[in-house]
Structure 1
Amino acid sequence: MLVGLSFFGFAATPARAETVWLCQPGAADNPCRDSLDTTIQEADGSSRVERPQLPADPEIDCFYVYPTVSEQPAPAADKRIDASLRAIARYQASRFSSQCRVYAPVYRQLTLAGLQAASAEQQQAAQRVAFADVREAFLDYLKNFNAGRGVVLIGHSQGTRMLRALVRAEVDKEPSVRRRLVSGLLLGQNVTVRKGELGGGDFENVPLCSKKGETGCIVAWSAYGETPPSNSRFSRPSATGTPDPFEFPRGAAYEIACTDPAMLSGRSGPLESLLRGESYPGVIGALLVQTYGGPPPSAPTAWVRPADRYTGRCERLDGSHSLQIRQVGAARKLNPSPDSTWGLHLTDVNIALGELVEIVRLQKEAYLARPGPRTKVSARKLRVRRGRVRVPVACFGEQGVCEGTLRAGGRKARFSVPTGTKKVVVLRVKRGVKRTKAKLL
């Protein structure tokens, strides 16, 4: 055990813990599925309300991992669902419920207190615990809830760090899982690629998104309103900040990923910023006041599109690569928060949330338009052992689930097999049958 870790409330080797879901389809109190009512504020002071409807059963899923928001006093949070978790789920994730069923696990994250007070060694240990929770939740999701559906990974800050490690461990080298990846929105946490390339850094087989409607790829950026300082936490491959326990690539051969939200969404002009209508609570709320130079825009509806508009473009500046945010007209200037090294980190998601949702919509359409799954069963006669026959069933295709009914030895059985996988279906056959062929009905 690392010295001093028990004092700070976590162990070097994380104990297995059951998945606790902050957001899950069908949950009675689900902060990731909320009203989409939006107040549209105009520069002339007028406003109107739009009331988009939530789909009853979206055709894809989203797996959301929230950023560092826990205000628990220990460096590592427990799995209580508190106001800070509900607030960030509404603020960042709930808008995506227009496109997907949102799953969001609670994880024992490195807290705001841990960022300030814990040593580098303790921060690394806390992140290993956090990742163990996220990984276990994702495997739980794949086993018990996914059923072969396409999935968008969504993360910000510490959440993106967890997802970078998760993609490396469970997606990048797993074709059956990779085929289900609609995209990854990995914002505000230094996704790394080889200089001038779309991959070759964090991931070998999952590139950056480079065109509208592309699937199986990564959307990534960190927002700044000026050239990131030399000691910036984001946008530089040698960025300082939270110690890294995952051995992500870094150095002169790499650069930080930045993908253009306008290009990927097919839009032009100012970004569509979307904020929650209510004030954000706690420490993050106070930092947002610093970012906006006063109270952030608000409205009586769940959402507000502020009159202040901004453009965003990926730029390489003095060795950095970031989404540079510029105000349009009389829009108020956005300030770095907590300091210049963080840039506009707190706005990474919401400054272009309209574009992000549109990107997911386009990717969803492209993903669902891919060729459907095909089922294959053995054409040869299969031996019956102890009154049972084992029928291998394989599912091929770009996405989805092979479902149907098998008949063998005078009996029938239903099956469900995700694309890119195989499954053995066992049937109890009629007495006296020694060999039999399986047939799809």
Structure 2
Amino acid sequence: MRYLIIGFLTLLFACNRPYYKMAKNYPHVPPYSTNAIPDYANLNDWAAHPYKKDPADSVPRPLSNGFQPDSTADVFFIHPTTYTEKERSFGWNAPINHTKLNAKTDYSTILYQASIFNAAGRIFAPRYRQAHLSAYFPKNSADSLHAMAAFQEAYSDVKAAFEYYLQHWNHGRPIIIASHSQGSTHAIRLLKEFFDGKFLQQQLVVAYVVGMPVGCPTSI
């Protein structure tokens, strides 16, 4: 059993190491703060954006010859939880400008999930003050209150990013909503607030809301 645990920890740290190596390539930012509010006019506060080079632009080598990205639609991608460390060292919400966490996000979910949409449209994936993974597993009533507040703070960032995107970059283009895990928790709220029965619903092509239960109407 001891060797199994050692092997698991070795694999865990080995998987994290590449993210940390990539962090040194990120722009210098002031010391991170859990109170920092994202500025979506700043491209550094987007994990993926059509006006910068990022891992969402990646194309598998066998598909790269003759690859033609389609920019007729926009993909608003909300990434899953990457703030998963056991210690919860940043509190219930992750800071927006922690380079190692951002590198982990970019070279995991953005590279391997968001990039699949780059043939379908321009990809916009905001950084946000994501809730810690433990927010899904509160141990008591106090934890439940902290978790609800953490999800609310995270959603407020996602909402702000989407509003900024609509005001500055959409210009009436078709929209695809894509998300996974915690991203889908926020995508469900976003769809209800901005699309359900709203004028913007006419621009919605499809919503890929993966990893969370989605309610269905009782009758069609």
The alignment's TM-score, normalised by the length of structure 2, stands at 0.71
- Distance in 2 (CA, whole Å) between partners of 1:77 and 1:148 is 32
**CA deviation vs aligned residue, 1:69-99 (integer Å, no higher than 9, x gap):** 2246332111125222111111111011011
- Distance in 2 (CA, whole Å) between partners of 1:134 and 1:53 is 34
In the comparison of the two structures, how many residue pairs are matched?
173
Is 1:77 equivalent to 2:94 in the alignment?
A: yes
Structure 1 residue 26 displacement after superposition: 2.4
**Counterpart selection for 1:99 from 120, 126, 139:** 120
**Counterpart selection for 1:59 from 72, 88, 113:** 72
Deviates more, 1:73-82 or 1:112-121: 112-121
| RMSD, aligned α-carbons | 2.4
Is 1:21 equivalent to 2:46 in the alignment?
A: yes
Match of 2:203 in 1: 180
Is 1:156 equivalent to 2:177 in the alignment?
A: no
* Secondary structure of residue in 2 paired with 1:153: strand
Q: What are the ranges of 5 or more consecutive residues in structure 2 without an aligned counterpart?
A: 1-32
Structure with higher strand content: 1
Percent identity over the alignment is: 26
The alignment's TM-score, normalised by the length of structure 1, stands at 0.37
- Distance in 1 (CA, whole Å) between partners of 2:130 and 2:212 is 15
Structure 1 residue 149 displacement after superposition: 0.6
**CA deviation vs aligned residue, 1:131-190 (integer Å, no higher than 9, x gap):** 100000001000001011101000111111101101111111321x11111111111111
Runs of 4+ in 1 over 4 A off after TM superposition: 113-118
* Secondary structure of residue in 2 paired with 1:167: helix
* Secondary structure of residue in 1 paired with 2:57: coil
Match of 2:59 in 1: 35
Structure 1 residue 52 displacement after superposition: 5.1
- Distance in 2 (CA, whole Å) between partners of 1:157 and 1:56 is 26
Pick 1 or 2: higher relative contact order, CA cutoff 8 A, min separation 6.
2
The change in CA–CA distance for 1:187 and 1:61 in structure 2 (over 3 A counts) is same
The change in CA–CA distance for 1:122 and 1:170 in structure 2 (over 3 A counts) is same
Q: Which amino acid aligns with 1:187?
A: V
- Distance in 1 (CA, whole Å) between partners of 2:172 and 2:115 is 23
- Distance in 2 (CA, whole Å) between partners of 1:56 and 1:75 is 38
Q: Computing the radius of gyration over CA atoms, which structure comes out larger, 1 or 2?
A: 1
Match of 1:410 in 2: none
Structure 1 residue 53 displacement after superposition: 4.0
Give the conservation status (yes or no) of the 8 Å contact 1:110–1:127: yes
Give the conservation status (yes or no) of the 8 Å contact 2:75–2:178: yes
Give the conservation status (yes or no) of the 8 Å contact 1:36–1:54: no
* Secondary structure of residue in 1 paired with 2:161: helix
Match of 2:214 in 1: 191
Q: What are the ranges of 5 or more consecutive residues in structure 1 without an aligned counterpart?
A: 1-8, 38-48, 199-441
- Distance in 2 (CA, whole Å) between partners of 1:179 and 1:51 is 33
Structure with higher helix content: 2
